[in-house]
Amino acid sequence: MEVKVRAADANDYERISKIFDHPSVVTQSSQHPYLGADKISSLFQERKENSVVLVAEVEGKVQGYIGIDLSTKPRAKHVASFGMAVHPVSHGKGVGSRLLKETIDLAGNWLNIIRLELDVYTDNEHGIYLYRKFGFQIEGESRFASFKDGDYVGLYRMARISPKFNKKLQGDG
């Protein structure tokens, strides 16, 4: 199965909203159900100046997306955060891995980003596994940070530091 990653365009917002319409996807996002294409479009347009949105296509259909937000803080230009979602029919088929691989490449080789960070629900085992597979580490937990499915849940703060800087982290640089 070939996964093609490309920049999102205005025609993709409806496709992305269909991914969010799926109950298992919206449960793991920070959004609520029934957003619709207009709301998805406005969310992405608000972030347009300092963000990059990529989509993953399988057989010509958008099956996932990743939105990368570049820090606008003067002393944090080397930091970016992201959120992503993959349609359930494509779970376990490499779509999320491909999106993360492209994001890491873009961050390190084109955007001069050395720290990628995200928040993930503490009960999102598949997401946590995927992020760890790509070198992300849990840096902390925010308890009762979000409300979903009628209950309060925690979030892990995860980050990946570029391997070029691992020596500095270990005191060797």
151 in Cβ contact with 121 (< 8 Å): no
Confidence at residue 13, expressed as pLDDT on a 0 to 100 scale: 80
Q: How far apart are CA 82 and CA 88, in angstroms?
A: 19
Cα gap 21→137, rounded to integer Å: 29
145 Cβ partners below 8 Å, 6+ apart?
119, 152, 153, 154, 155
Instruction: Give the residue carrying structure tokens 């609520």.
Output: 32
Q: Are strands 51-58 and 79-86 parallel, antiparallel or unpaired?
A: unpaired
Q: How many domains does the chain have?
A: 1
Ranges of residues in the chain with a pLDDT under 70 are 22-37, 39-41, 43-48, 166-173
In the DSSP assignment, the letter for residue 147 is: E
Supply the angle between the helices 125-133 and 95-109 in degrees, to the nearest 10: 40
Domain with 120, as residue range(s), is 3-169
From residue 159, give the alpha-carbon distance in Å to each of 1, 11, 117, 126, 139. Answer: 29, 31, 4, 16, 7
pLDDT at 57: 94
Distance CA 37, CA 34 (A): 9
Q: What is the CATH number of the domain that holds 151?
A: 3.40.630.30
Task: Give the chain's count of helices (H) and strands (E).
Answer: 6, 7
The strand pairing partners of 123, in sequence order, are none
Cβ-contact 80, 113 below 8 angstroms: yes
